[in-house]
Amino acid sequence: MDYFSGYISALVEQLSHLPGIGPKTAQRLAFYIISQPAEKAERLASSILDARRNVRYCKNCCTLTDEELCPVCSNPKRDKKTIMVVETPRDQAAYEKTGKYGGVYHVLHGAISPMLGIGPDDIRLKELMARLSGDVDEVIIATNSSLEGETTAMYISRLIKPTGIRVTRIASGVPVGGDLENIDEVTLLRALEGRRQL
């Protein structure tokens, strides 16, 4: 990176620390940022600082938010007796986009992964269990259908079952609009196992 001036090299280096941004993309982004009007670069910089400084975990569901309680938890119309457990705020956002889920969430910020050394204490599981002492009807486990997600789902369901609260898992199967021929075998078998009478 010595071909560039010090400031450009520094920016390229900082950008290439971001996930999925390699040195070539970082270079492209850096030159774009430099070529933009100064106020655009300033807006980008201050949005980074504002977000990092002001965003915190929701006291209730652990998602990322500006306030003590996130918009979902503080919405009186949401059904507080139904908790959907997700791995990340992005997964929560995916369900919020559907506009059809009326319950609340719990964000684990990760999944149990013996491979990566991530145990039950490394995700927001204690916080979930604490919530269950309140008035809860159902916990819907919506972790990913990866190995880690399934392990986490299994672990949580075993933990909750003794409390008598209903524990469910979102269905896995063929995505809507998916061509069968392009779908992996594991998913095809899951879809078969999970078949329902019409």
* Residues lying near a second copy in the complex (CB under 8 A): 3-8, 10-11, 13-15, 17-21, 25, 27-34, 36, 38, 40-55, 64-67, 70-71, 88-90, 92-93, 96-97
Q: Take residue 93 and report the two structure tokens written for it.
A: 């956002």
Q: How far is the CB of 1 from a second copy (least distance, A)?
A: 8
Q: Count how many Cα atoms sit within 13 Å of the Cα of residue 149 in the half-sphere of its side chain.
A: 16
Q: How far apart are CA 188 and CA 192, in angstroms?
A: 6
Q: How far is the CB of 115 from a second copy (least distance, A)?
A: 20
Q: Take residue 48 and report the two structure tokens written for it.
A: 């980074």
For a second copy, the closer of residues 52 and 195 by Cβ is: 52
Q: How many of the other CB atoms lie within 10 Å of CB of 47?
A: 10
For a second copy, the closer of residues 8 and 191 by Cβ is: 8
Q: Take residue 88 and report the two structure tokens written for it.
A: 């990340």
60, 70, 115, 63: which is closest to 86 by C-alpha?
Answer: 63
Q: How far is the CB of 65 from a second copy (least distance, A)?
A: 5
β-pairing verdict for 56-57 and 103-107: unpaired
For a second copy, the closer of residues 25 and 113 by Cβ is: 25
Q: How far is the CB of 20 from a second copy (least distance, A)?
A: 7
For a second copy, the closer of residues 25 and 187 by Cβ is: 25
